[in-house]
């Protein structure tokens, strides 16, 4: 299997630099299994270890994560090992250990200390820096969500970093032309209309808009009344791009911030800002001159129904991802296209 990262045998004591000290300390659980703490055998330094089944999808995740790994705001991958457990071939990814937890948990934990728009802009600048790096390498992350934004350490020295490349994709690889609309309902614009490269990247920009919105008020957009459980109407609001900047929490937020959010949450990916436009936008450029007024973020975060919000964000991101392997061309029999009805009828009579 071709890949551009080096895999070391885990059983070989000369190459195996890390070890898991029993009982394993679980750092987090994801769809692919657990992430556990491991220790550098020589220095005792702590790292995070993610174990993935050795399948092509995992190789792609690791390859893209390794490629992106040099950036200050992307979780670093230090080593990749291979090993078999109960005859199942696995890849072991050693990453820097993120000790500071997830983005919004950290804001919530601040208690009385007010969170300001200026701070929000600093966080967004770091996240956008990571995305600009990825997009310049023609990699779309396609799974930017609060759970994948982690801090290196607790306290003011902690740095925010993006992780989990499970849905990342190279955007400059050629896709078969004209297939994507065969039976798909993509997110408002067929990828081939925009070009699959811009389409895949635009998914990250939508996520950036959602994260920025939550940072500035403490609840997700597309909520009719924040703090209330997710209503069935939320999905349709996402689809129609229907959201507002309710009073009073948005009253003290700058016009520039609202303008940028509006450009990011466009339902048509062709109209959505690119990462370069975000970096050049007034709000991103005037960091230190942004208002220092306390925001309602921390208070509102406590009221937000996170599991439902996460679920809805996940579903929306899934609907935006269109992959070659997901594309299924309907057979003539399956098709409900009226223009093809005649052909079906003809096929029935033709021997």
**Which of 95, 168, 210, 290: binder of ligand ATP (CB under 6 A)?**
95
- Distance (Å) of CA 320 to CA 34, 55, 185: 26, 23, 9
Shortest separation between residue 29's beta carbon and ligand ATP, angstroms? 6
> Three-state SS for 103?
helix
Listed residue (212, 62, 71) closest to 129, CA to CA: 71
Query: Residues 123 to 152: which contact ligand ATP by CB under 6 A?
Result: 147-148
Q: Is 28 a binder of ligand ATP (CB under 6 A)?
A: yes
Q: Is 97 a binder of ligand ATP (CB under 6 A)?
A: yes
Q: Is 30 a binder of ligand ATP (CB under 6 A)?
A: yes
Shortest separation between residue 311's beta carbon and ligand ATP, angstroms? 12
- For 136, counting Cβ atoms within 10 Å of its Cβ (0-12 exposed, 13-18 middle, 19+ buried), the class is exposed
Q: Which is nearer to ligand ATP, 53 or 303 (CB)?
A: 53
Give CA–CA dist 192/271, Å, rounded. Answer: 15
Q: Is 164 a binder of ligand ATP (CB under 6 A)?
A: yes
Catalytically annotated residue among 79, 143, 164, 204: 143
Sole window of 90-98, 124-132, 180-188, 285-293 interacting with ligand ATP (rule: CB under 6 A) = 90-98
Shortest separation between residue 40's beta carbon and ligand ATP, angstroms? 14
Residues 6+ apart with CB under 8 A from 60: 168
Shortest separation between residue 281's beta carbon and ligand ATP, angstroms? 29
- Whether 143 is catalytic is yes
x/- binding map, residues 41-80, to ligand ATP, per CB under 6 A?
-------x-x------------------------x-----
177-213 burial, b if ≥16 CB within 10 A, otherwise e?
Answer: eebbeeeeebbbbbbbebebbbbbbbbbbbbbbbbbb
Is residue 116 a contact partner of residue 291, using CB atoms and an 8 Å limit?
Answer: yes
Residue 303 — left, alpha, or beta (φ > 0 → left; ψ -120 to 50 → alpha)? alpha
Q: Is 264 a binder of ligand ATP (CB under 6 A)?
A: no
Q: Is 316 a binder of ligand ATP (CB under 6 A)?
A: no
Q: Is 39 a binder of ligand ATP (CB under 6 A)?
A: no
Is residue 287 a contact partner of residue 118, using CB atoms and an 8 Å limit?
Answer: yes
Size (the chain), residues:
351
Is residue 279 a contact partner of residue 128, using CB atoms and an 8 Å limit?
Answer: yes
**Which of 94, 130, 133, 163: binder of ligand ATP (CB under 6 A)?**
163
Catalytic residues: 143
Report the interface residues with ligand ATP, using CB under 6 A. 27-28, 30-32, 35, 48, 50, 75, 95-98, 147-148, 163-164, 166
């Amino acid at each position: 299997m071709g890949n551009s990262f080096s895999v070391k045998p885990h059983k070989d004591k000369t190459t195996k630099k890390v070890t898991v000290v029993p009982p394993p300390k679980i750092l987090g659980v994801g769809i692919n299994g657990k992430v556990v703490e491991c220790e550098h055998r020589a220095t005792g330094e702590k790292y995070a270890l993610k174990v993935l089944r050795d399948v092509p999808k995992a190789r792609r995740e690791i390859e893209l994560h390794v490629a992106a790994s040099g950036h200050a705001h992307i979780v670093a991958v230090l080593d990749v090992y291979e090993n078999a457990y109960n005859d199942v071939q696995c890849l072991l990814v050693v990453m820097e250990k993120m000790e500071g937890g997830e983005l919004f948990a950290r804001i919530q934990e601040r208690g009385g200390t007010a969170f300001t728009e200026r701070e929000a802009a600093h966080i967004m600048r770091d996240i956008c820096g990571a995305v600009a790096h990825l997009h310049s390498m023609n990699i779309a992350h396609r799974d930017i969500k609060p759970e994948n934004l982690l801090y290196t350490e607790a306290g003011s020295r902690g740095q925010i970093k993006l992780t989990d490349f499970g849905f990342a994709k190279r955007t400059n690889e050629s896709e078969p032309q004209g297939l994507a609309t065969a039976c798909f309902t993509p997110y408002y614009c067929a990828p081939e209309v925009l070009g699959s490269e811009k389409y895949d990247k635009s998914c990250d920009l939508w996520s950036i808009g959602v994260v920025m919105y939550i940072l500035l008020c403490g609840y997700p957009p597309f909520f009719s009344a924040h703090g209330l459980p997710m209503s069935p109407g939320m999905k349709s609001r996402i689809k129609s791009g229907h959201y507002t900047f309710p009073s009073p929490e948005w009253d003290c937020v700058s016009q520039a911030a609202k303008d940028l959010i509006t450009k990011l949450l466009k339902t048509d990916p062709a109209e959505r800002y690119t990462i370069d436009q975000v970096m050049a936008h007034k709000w991103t450029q005037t960091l230190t001159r942004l208002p220092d007024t306390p925001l309602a973020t921390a208070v509102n975060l406590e009221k937000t129904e996170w599991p439902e919000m996460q679920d809805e964000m996940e579903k929306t991101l899934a609907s935006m991802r269109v992959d070659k392997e997901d594309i299924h061309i309907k057979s003539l029999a399956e098709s409900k296209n009226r223009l093809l009805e005649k052909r079906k009828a003809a096929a029935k009579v033709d021997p």
